[in-house]
Structure 1
């Protein structure tokens, strides 16, 4: 049932008793407001409209003395919570005072902006500026490249613990296959990419990364889609993944988080504050510990990670930051269940056809510094230097296919000893802002140097004992074949120079131009069964 209630509206107006600006001698006694309004309209040259429900049960004060109709109306409405709104000359509408322009004294408020996106307290999803595409702080809308950012707010909301989980938010980026769980690789726009960048510096996870990349100390992940070789040299044309670590902050922040799962747990710590009164010396400390099991046999992974950062603000124009990351742990691979025909073999869900010794242990340390100095408001110089050293030992047992009986699984053994990697890299950038003929230019002139060395002993056995998938008997220990082992070492070295000009024209037109020169050298020198081979590029 629909009930429609029609409220009556009173419309009282005068004949021609006088002008709205002429004072009238009033003698009205205290009475209901609707009656007083009708009498006022009858004795003045005015028209007063009001909703009967609005003035119901309101008492008007007495009105005595000489007042213009407008003054008289104001007197009658005083204290009623209503006001007269003039809609035309001599015509008024009675409305609630709160809906009009009546002045009110509001309590004092302190208005503050949202925390900066780099603040530990920030929950912003929007990151308007990035440095990945241009090596300058440039709004994404002014960057002629496709940039997608995964801020820490998204990683926190999703409780992501790996780089792969975080990059699920980026279109066109898919996680690649990872050997033995030691490394991560990604396909970006169809191109397989092993490398990742940290604050614009290249690292090789295929050889130097130990375990999945820890994200506990990341502020955000910036993904550039498309070519970026002018600034970064040798890089896949699909794009790049740039990891931006957390920076020390003067505002104190302390966070301890514990995550639990059916077979794993993760503990993380984030702390930052100032070490002195003038906030010139800041620190940040990130810590993570993972312990991961499984319902599957032999799976036991863990790692310990700590990343201290110390920043000294020497002056308003000069700062230096010292950084370190240390990680150690072990990981084991699970090769899954073999297929019989086009269906998985019917095996117990916990059965693992690998070996208990098939695991890798690793230790990795990264250390470096960066400093910057602003000569003035237009020119600034930045320098970065990092070194990374890692050591890995591991064993892997991989399936190579079922035999004709559909129960005997052939396997391959591979392992490495003393897999040592040393990387040194540095970059130097000079950034300037100039104006020529009313055209704004942002210039970047710089160079970078990369040096990488790897040595290892590779163990193999292509005739490793097979296993019955329905009645498995495990080997229990690695069985390398000395005839198939070999030593290896490789080196990479390159340096490059680059120049870039960002031009800002009228009508929001932006141009980006640059050039680069590279000189690179790569060597590989494996010794296999007493025979040494050498390759150079």
Structure 2
């Protein structure tokens, strides 16, 4: 409560003293050297040349033997992106529309495979249809790592990962407030203010807030949201910095994805095209309402000039109420107008604790410069999805009449299915070697243990060892050809017909 009061006071003070939309103040006591040290090239303009995702360190992309794309805050704003899915649409090798316009989440495929989503280097999505959709207004950067990445991040796909980077408090006082009107009765207001909270700027704060009331292209489906992101950074000493990032979010929406038949969409139908605004579910029943409370702590400590520690940890509690009706199978009846609708209701929860401890070091052995990362990460997640199905009900997609559906599931019909508790522990090491300022060799190795424990069932353990090896040559003129090999793994929950636990799904990739 005290943190919120401090941030609120700082926000009011900064708003009163700001003279324009982006007001910046410099302390007259600052020396020229101190001012120069605050410049960060990676956060300026449309393109970032530095990414923490590829190597878990601030390594220039041109020195990373992987395919990495970074979207800066400015780039996201210029795209007019209202969702993360919008923002990543122009990234090479990535397809951001596997389910079309979907209010339930951000979907993508990297090189034909669904990626794993991270927030500030920690896995952010567990289970399914129980997580809150992150608003891009709270992000300072989006990083896309293509290809297998389990060696640094644990479980993942062969497609890669999408790492969302939260906005952080800044010492310079800066603020903005804007209002927006748009199609489908869209009304949105947002504000972002940051600055120092004391005289020596050892304590800095930031507060991001957004409120939206909107309809969507699908009838009877809203897209309402409330986002509150307070954050605080404390320079406890010259060598230690502690950052806390809060996320309070409430979304109210429904099922915008309707699963229309092929006839009347891709293929012609005698009654014409189905209107894209057509709603297959039932008004008053359909909803996808999510809420989330999360707190991320990031501790950075410089041991000396060559060695440093970094710890990131997050607790997340999310819940989703999901009611929907959809045509199944997605084909017309004999009249080429009517579909049969399945009715479905679920109540899903997810409580997760994720942590990543890293030791960074620089060592020189002869002509070789070593950039080392030693890490230990841990995930503990509880997911529960209780649901019920109701009766089938027909609907004429060309002249829908609502309010006549019967046998819809209610709260009393929800079956308490078994929850799942999962843990994953991984240890990893990476060595980026620079030889004669021209040759780069990146080697990494990781060992994981994943435990899945269904309620009322027996726990299963899965183990995996993954690696990565890359060679790169830094040519004059900014070209860096490379050859790399990388691996991934993803645990599979359950047992086969002989009651043996499944082995993890593994992936391998060569890239040049």
* TM norm structure 2: 0.75
CA distance in 2, matches of 1:492, 1:522: 4
Counterpart of 2:139? 218
Matched-pair contact (CA < 8 Å) for 2:430–2:445:
yes
The unaligned stretches of length 5 or more in structure 1 are: 1-109, 528-532
Q: Secondary structure at the match of 2:77?
A: helix
Report whether the alignment pairs 1:137 with 2:58: yes
Cα displacement (A) at 1:378: 0.4
Report whether the alignment pairs 1:361 with 2:283: no
Structure 1 residues 136 and 472 mapped into 2: Cα distance closer, same or farther (>3 Å)?
closer
Counterpart of 1:409? 339
Counterpart of 1:73? none
CA distance in 2, matches of 1:369, 1:382: 11
CA distance in 2, matches of 1:495, 1:203: 16
Structure possessing the higher radius of gyration over alpha carbons: 1
CA distance in 2, matches of 1:524, 1:179: 33
Cα displacement (A) at 1:475: 3.8
TM-align CA RMSD: 2.8
Counterpart of 1:437? 366
Matched-pair contact (CA < 8 Å) for 1:275–1:283:
yes
Structure 1 residues 288 and 311 mapped into 2: Cα distance closer, same or farther (>3 Å)?
same
Q: 1:288 aligns with which of 205, 210, 224?
A: 210
Cα displacement (A) at 1:181: 2.7
CA distance in 1, matches of 2:107, 2:217: 26
Report whether the alignment pairs 1:395 with 2:323: yes
CA distance in 2, matches of 1:236, 1:220: 22
Q: 1:267 aligns with which of 175, 189, 192?
A: 189
Q: 1:384 aligns with which of 312, 323, 329?
A: 312
Instruction: Please list the CA deviations of residues 431-489 of structure 1 after superposition, one character each: whole Å capped at 9, or x if unmatched.
Output: 1111112321111111000011112321112x421123344332467712988955231
Range 446-455 or range 399-408, more displaced: 399-408
Q: 2:375 aligns with which of 443, 446, 453?
A: 446
* TM norm structure 1: 0.72
CA distance in 1, matches of 2:49, 2:217: 44
Matched-pair contact (CA < 8 Å) for 1:124–1:153:
yes
Paired residues for 1:22-421 under 5 Å:
116-117=39-40, 123-175=44-96, 176-177=98-99, 181-193=103-115, 195-204=116-125, 207=128, 210-263=131-184, 264-294=186-216, 296-334=218-256, 335=258, 338-340=261-263, 342-343=267-268, 345-346=271-272, 351-356=278-283, 357-400=285-328, 401-417=331-347, 419-421=348-350
Structure 1 residues 301 and 435 mapped into 2: Cα distance closer, same or farther (>3 Å)?
same
Cα displacement (A) at 1:205: 5.7
Cα displacement (A) at 1:123: 4.9
Instruction: Please list the CA deviations of residues 383-413 of structure 1 after superposition, one character each: whole Å capped at 9, or x if unmatched.
Output: 1110110111120100123211222211101
Instruction: Please list the CA deviations of residues 56-105 of structure 1 after superposition, one character each: whole Å capped at 9, or x if unmatched.
Output: xxxxxxxxxxxxxxxxxxxxxxxxxxxxxxxxxxxxxxxxxxxxxxxxxx
The unaligned stretches of length 5 or more in structure 2 are: 1-31, 458-492, 496-500, 503-512
Q: Secondary structure at the match of 1:181?
A: coil
Cα displacement (A) at 1:508: 1.3
Matched-pair contact (CA < 8 Å) for 1:303–1:330:
yes
CA distance in 1, matches of 2:380, 2:206: 29
Matched-pair contact (CA < 8 Å) for 1:183–1:205:
no
CA distance in 1, matches of 2:336, 2:350: 41
Range 290-299 or range 490-499, more displaced: 290-299
CA distance in 1, matches of 2:55, 2:189: 36
- Of structures 1 and 2, the one scoring higher in RCO (CA 8 A, sep 6+) is 2
Matched-pair contact (CA < 8 Å) for 1:150–1:169:
no
Q: Secondary structure at the match of 1:168?
A: helix
Q: Secondary structure at the match of 1:154?
A: helix
Equivalences, count: 418
Matched-pair contact (CA < 8 Å) for 1:458–1:488:
no
Report whether the alignment pairs 1:505 with 2:435: yes
